[in-house]
Amino acid sequence: MKASQQPGFLHTIQEYFIKDHRYSYITLVVLCLFAYFPTFNNQFQNFWDDQWVVINTYTTDGFALANVKRILSEYYHGQYAPVNQLFYTLLFKLFGYNPFWFHAACLGIHVLNASLIFSFIKRLLLLSNEFAESSIWRLAFFTSLLFAIHPFLVEAVAWVSASKILLYALFYLIALHYYLRYTISLKLRYYLLALFFYIVSFGAKEQAVTFPVFVILIDYVSKRNLKDPQVWLEKLPIIVLTISFGIFTMLSQAATGSGALSTEASYPFGQRVIFASYALFEYLFKCIIPYKLSYLYPFPNVVGQAVPPRFWPYPVALVVIIICLWSFLKQKWVAFGLLFFLIHIAVALHIIPISRFAIVADRYVYLASAGVFFVMALLLDKAVALLPKYKILFTTLIVIYVCALALYTNSYVKHWHDTDTLKKEVTELLKQRPDYKAQ
């Protein structure tokens, strides 16, 4: 009798969440605050970029017209991120250089992003008309829950200098919401709002340039008529903006002698393919099992040296996996999740020479991770549908997994307390670089 009552209890709880999404949002906020609570005690990383990214004259000079013009028009250390700089300027204007409020603001944006992912997935699946209401809730909630508490995303949230990632994702997700509204109503104001927030997103971080590719994917899964010329004509302004943004990015990096326009020596294409394959595996695997997370993943060789043999199998392994799992990977919503991941991580995979110090960086997987989490949620939903008698077991395992991730995040956030907590590990990691020289 008890065994038969338990599924009823779980069903009742699920119904509450489905009928009133406020429960879902409240749960996301509570669990996110638990996981990241130590960040309120964290300081600035005064020897790990905060000393120039956050603490600078752009920040301290406030909103005087001359300073705002400088923020909007100047490259700074090879970066063009005026929206991110205005974020720091605003926080300094309100609170001075009080790290509590900088960290609180970053965490607040992360909570907003998790909520926006829940809303975006829910709305997209409703638009597709291919899922039951319970499945839509499970897919949206589990995807956003993993996003909210996963330790792989700690760097982007707990390191103030990485706030550009949070801000780009925030405005990018808002742009996606307006784009979805546009596809439903075809009202011009929603299209213009999507364009506006795309521009603001790029103003925070250049990774926003993936937007035009991703909206085409959205058109496909939401069953828009891709043979309609209007569907492609509406992409022209987005593509023009993207090309302009790409030029901005290359020019900003070239200003410091790095990036695609640089004349400095770079890794040959063959080595970049190996690096990209390795990085892809690392990003994907750590989204599922966050093992050996670190602040720094050095390149295995300097320019001009051979790649260590242990990296050679990665491109071959990637091809083999795609061939062996093709029937699974080509399923529409599995493909959507994986393409979500690939589209948003592609700019950080080194195929095009970019100004990066490490072969992998946790912060770059921030938005892309939602695609992997969606596939995980999809597998869970299918398991529940195919094996309903094991629903209690699945629920128990998920609770254990989520709790383990939240506890890991809670502990890992403390590693970002200040520069001293990072210094020892950073030094050890730097020693792994073949060009390391003791100071």
- As a whole number, mean pLDDT of residues 333-362 equals 87
How much is the pLDDT for 387? Answer: 85
Identify which of 35-49, 265-279, 417-431 has the greatest average pLDDT: 35-49
Q: How confident is the model at residue 355 (pLDDT cuts 50, 70, 90)?
A: low
Averaged pLDDT for residues 39-57: 92
Instruction: Tell me what the pLDDT averaged over the chain comes to.
Output: 88
* CB-count exposure of residue 2 (10 Å: 0-12, 13-18, 19+): exposed
Asked whether the predicted pLDDT for residue 353 surpasses 80, the reply is: no
| Residue 140 structure tokens | 């949206």
| pLDDT for res 46 | 87
3-state secondary structure of 359: strand
Cα–Cα distance between 319 and 59 in angstroms, integer? 47
Instruction: State the pLDDT at residue 268.
Output: 87
395: left (phi over 0), alpha (psi -120 to 50) or beta: alpha
The percentage of residues in the chain with a pLDDT greater than 70, rounded to a whole number, is 88
Residue 39 CB contacts under 8 Å (≥ 6 apart), including other chains: 103, 106, 107, 157, 158, 413, 416
How large is the angle between the packed helices 133-149 and 369-386, nearest 10 degrees?
140
Inform me whether the pLDDT recorded for 75 exceeds 80.
yes
Question: 180: which residues sit within 8 A by CB, 6+ positions away?
Answer: 120, 123, 124, 127, 218, 222
47 band by pLDDT with thresholds 50, 70 and 90: confident
Q: What percent of the chain has pLDDT over 90?
A: 64
- C-alpha span between 82 and 70 (Å, rounded): 9
| Distances from the Cα of 28 to the Cα of 100, 116, 149, 233, angstroms | 22, 11, 9, 38
Q: How many CB atoms lie within 10 A of CB 295?
A: 18
More confident call, 303 vs 32? 32
What whole-number distance in Å separates Cα of residue 295 and Cα of residue 361? 7
Q: What is the pLDDT of residue 158?
A: 95
- In this prediction, residues 158-180 reach a mean pLDDT of 96
pLDDT of residue 427: 63
Instruction: Kindly tell me if the per-residue pLDDT of 102 is higher than 90.
Output: yes
